[in-house]
Amino acid sequence: MRWRKWFSFFLLFVLCVTGASAPAQAQNTPVISIFLDGQQIHSDVSPYIIPKVNVTMVPLRVISENLGAEVFWDGQSQTATIIKDGTVLSMRTNQKFALVNDGQIGLDASVENRGGRTMVPLRFVSEQLGLQVGWEQSTRTITLQTGNTPIATTPVPEPMPPQDITNPPIINQPGGQTALRGVWISTVFNLDWPSAGSYGNQEKQKQEYVQMLDELQNMGLNAVFVQVRPAADAIYPSTLVPWSKFLTGTQGKDPGYDPLAFMVEETHRRGMQFHAWFNPFRAATDAKTETLAANNVVKQHPQWIVNSGNKPYINPGIPEARQHIIATIMEVVNRYDIDGVHLDDYFYPSNGNFPDDATFKAYNSKGFTDKAAWRRDNINQFVQQLDQSIKSVKPQVQFGISPFGVWRNKAMDQTGSDTKAGVTAYDHMHADVRTWIQQGWIDYVTPQIYWSMSFAPAQYDKLVTWWANEVRGTDVTLYIGHAPYKLGTNEAGWQNAQEIINQLNYNTMHPEVKGSIFFSAKDLRKNPLGLIQELRNYYFSR
């Protein structure tokens, strides 16, 4: 992963994690607090202790304007570099020593990558930056001090394990890596949040979101992927696109608060990750343009719109249109403390009916003779430019895409999967996912493998193995998209909730798989075939 080139101050980053993680801790679990020169440091992520060596690890998360340390993360070499007051500190993953001004110092634990977070040893880094570190057992407080006055120091003990299942263990992957356990939250058509009955009632919408988070975290989940752009609109105040109608019933109508700011804060308060999910090219959910706001792209830029399947789409072949979408995404990146930018598989419509001959002629500067190749190049440019835009301002923000689960069938390409899917990402949606992975334009990929272990045309285990091979040797993390919404249906393999557990168990056979995302929140909350208890047993027993 090519992120973490930041932090004007790195020490607070180490500290940051524990203080603010308190709300996410179980009430019966002692919380570790961290103070710098008497001021408590807050963060949304809890630290963890590496057993035996008794080293406290914290994320590169918070920038401090006061001490002026610079931190750089090189994803290629997996090296963190911290510079402050002439001290240059460099640590590489799995390396048992650090370089400090070109001298070597042994380490009990070095920098680690866990679930998209860069973690570093707090005490070692603090002391190299000239701070004193102390531990108060009775209050479970870590004290950091910039002055020269000695402070009492005792080893930082390993925290007691959580007693409440609302704070599940986070280590359940081979090699002790943090597993992402996410869920997609759809706002389009009010599928997951908010309810149509909450239109115009911000307090009810807030209550619904809090209750949903309670339930999801109680299942063992630690990340949400919230649809903030259902269809060329926004669930946040935007200067570029209208308010989503799924907040009030009317597109363009102000709901009276900033839902995204509330959700990010509420999610981070629990120590969960918040990924902003964008549907990039869908302009509206139907052809009823009279219900669209005046500043909807369909009305402002009709020349960008292509109708397919009685729905308007923003034409990916027009460079200005692509830049407009990137600008709307960057609004969120710049203004909100999100953990990631997430795109789904809505690129070109999969039905193949997309009348863009005129665009092909007008915007074919590279001289493609094959329209399909030209379409893929349009999406490639979009993905690459969006990645560059995100990394230029917030390298720590993850950028990921969840493509359709089959890239290509082996019948069409010998390097494809052993499947017989009627639709493929490469041929129908013009999503050249392999190129994105190989070029490092995305930080993670989440193929939507929405079939069971016994569905012969697209078998779950075969596809997981194929995708694991695709990311192996790259800096791209692999998460798997699961389909609990299919439980109880007549499709092969979905007659028992154990299917999902079998899939999770199969994932652990591939070290490339770093977690799972479930579609969607409402389907988990319905508890199909007793899935909730199965998930709790799986996550809380590991």
Query: Helices 460-471 and 498-507 meet at what angle, rounded to 10?
Result: 30
d(CA 264, CA 185): 13
pLDDT confidence bin for 140, thresholds 50/70/90? low
Structure tokens at 98: 């650090």
pLDDT of 271-317, one tens digit each? 999 999 999 999 999 888 999 999 999 999 999 999 998 899 999 99
Q: What is the pLDDT, as a whole number, of residue 173?
A: 45
pLDDT of 216-251, one tens digit each? 999 999 999 999 999 999 999 999 999 999 999 999
d(CA 406, CA 414): 13
Q: What is the pLDDT, as a whole number, of residue 84?
A: 66
Q: What is the pLDDT, as a whole number, of residue 68?
A: 56
d(CA 165, CA 542): 12
Q: What is the pLDDT, as a whole number, of residue 523?
A: 97
Describe the chain by its helix, strand, coil percentages, rounded to 5. 30, 20, 45
Token match 């108060």: residue?
136
Do residues 55 and 29 make contact, with C-beta atoms less than 8 angstroms apart?
A: no
Q: What is the pLDDT, as a whole number, of residue 109?
A: 85
Residue 152 confidence (pLDDT) above 60? no
Contacts 24+ apart (CB under 8 A), 320-323: 322/378, 322/381, 322/382, 322/385, 323/385
Q: What is the pLDDT, as a whole number, of residue 150?
A: 44
Beta-sheet strands, E only, within 42-85: 48-50, 55-59, 70-74, 79-84
For 6, 210, 240, 315, 445, the CA distances from 465, given in Å and listed in that order, are: 35, 36, 41, 34, 14
- H/E element holding 300? helix 297-300
DSSP code of residue 479: E
Mean pLDDT, residues 527-542: 92
User: Whose CA is closest to 118, among 231, 196, 10?
Assistant: 10
Q: Which residue has the higher pLDDT, 5 or 352?
A: 352
d(CA 397, CA 442): 11
Q: What is the pLDDT, as a whole number, of residue 162?
A: 34
Structure tokens at 524: 């988990």
- As a whole number of Å, the CA-based R_g of the chain is 24
Residue 94 confidence (pLDDT) above 50? yes
Mean pLDDT, residues 141-152: 59
pLDDT of 447-468, one tens digit each? 999 999 999 999 999 999 999 9
pLDDT of 159-204, one tens digit each? 333 333 334 333 344 333 468 999 999 999 999 999 999 999 999 9
Q: Which domains does the chain have, with CATH numbers?
A: 33-146 (3.30.457.10), 180-541 (3.20.20.80)
pLDDT of 378-404, one tens digit each? 999 999 999 999 999 999 999 999 999
Residue 86 confidence (pLDDT) above 80? no
Quick one: what percent of the chain has pLDDT higher than 70? 79
d(CA 377, CA 364): 10
Q: What is the pLDDT, as a whole number, of residue 467?
A: 98
Q: Which residue has the higher pLDDT, 253 or 73?
A: 253
Quick one: what percent of the chain has pLDDT higher than 90? 64
Q: What phi and psi values does residue 137 have, to the nearest 5 degrees?
A: -65, -45
For residue 347, which amino acid is it? F
Q: How high does pLDDT run on average in the chain?
A: 84
Q: What is the pLDDT, as a whole number, of residue 139?
A: 64
d(CA 288, CA 298): 11
Q: Which residue has the higher pLDDT, 291 or 128?
A: 291
pLDDT confidence bin for 435, thresholds 50/70/90? very high
Q: What is the pLDDT, as a whole number, of residue 74?
A: 64
**Residue 361 three-state SS:** helix
For residue 142, which amino acid is it? I
Specify the range with the lowest mean pLDDT, choosing from 98-112, 411-425, 429-443, 469-483. Answer: 98-112
Residue 505 confidence (pLDDT) above 90? yes
DSSP code of residue 178: B
d(CA 522, CA 28): 29
Q: Which residue has the higher pLDDT, 141 or 370?
A: 370
d(CA 160, CA 180): 22
Q: What is the pLDDT, as a whole number, of residue 341?
A: 98
d(CA 32, CA 158): 10
d(CA 538, CA 542): 7
d(CA 154, CA 55): 13
